[in-house]
Amino acid sequence: MTAFDLDAYNERARNGPCFICSMLAGEPGYEHRIVLDDGVHVAFLDRYPTLPGKLLVAPRTHVEDTISGFTEDQYLALQLVVHRVATALAATVPTERLYLLSLGSMQGNAHVHWHIAALPPGTPYEQQQFHALMAEGSGVLPDDLGRAERLAADLRTRLGHPRRHDQRGA
C-alpha cells in the first residue's frame, strides 16, 4: 500500500469539478480506465483503489440523489449494470465477498456512483468491511499501469466490450 493524501483528495472532491463529468468530458487529470460504457451508464476502475479491481459505476448524466434522482426504471437499469459489473469483477479477481455501496454527498463527489469492491479471500476479519475500503488507514494500492490495463482489458472482455477505451472516457 502507498500513502494517500486525504487532505488533497477532500479539497478536490469538495471544491473541484465533478470527477465523473470531468472524466467523461476528457479533461486532463480526471482519467480513469473505463471497462463499460453503454451510452447511459459507465463503469471504470477506481483511481484510488484499496482492493484489487475496485470499480465505480455511474450514470453518464449528472444525477445527485441516489433515489429521487431516478425514475424507478432508471434506478433498476443502473442496478442491473452494477450487478453485471460486479459479476464480471468476481469472475476476474479472487473474491470472498463483494462490497457494493454508494458513497458521496452533496458536499463532495455528488454525482451518484456505486463502488464495487472484491474482498480477497483470507483477509483477516479486522481488515474487512469498512476497514478494507478506507484509504485513511493503510493507504491505496500502488499504481501498476500494466496490471491495471490487463485487469481493465479482462473486465471489458467479460462485459462484452473488448474495444480498448482510452483513459479519458471515449
Domains in the chain: boundaries = 6-158
Q: What's residue 169's pLDDT? A: 43
Cell 474495444, residue? 163
Tell me which amino acid residue 96 is: E
Cα distances (Å, whole numbers) of residue 22 to 15, 48, 75, 93, 130: 13, 16, 23, 28, 27
Asked if residue 121 lies in contact with residue 51, where contact means CB atoms within 8 angstroms, the answer is no
Which is nearest to 43 in space by CA: 32, 52, 56? 56
Q: What's residue 167's pLDDT? A: 45
- Dig out the grid coordinates for 83 from the structure: 450487478
Q: What's residue 162's pLDDT? A: 59
Print pLDDT tens along the chain (170 aa): 889 898 998 999 999 999 999 999 999 999 999 999 999 999 999 999 999 999 999 999 999 999 999 999 999 999 999 999 999 999 999 999 999 999 999 999 999 999 999 999 999 999 999 889 888 877 899 888 889 999 999 999 999 975 544 444 43
**What is 30-45 written as a DSSP string?**
----EEEE-SSEEEEE
Asked if residue 36 lies in contact with residue 165, where contact means CB atoms within 8 angstroms, the answer is no
The CATH label, of 3.30.428.10, 1.10.10.10, 1.10.3470.10, 3.30.420.40, for the domain at 6-158 is: 3.30.428.10
pTM listed for this prediction: 0.91
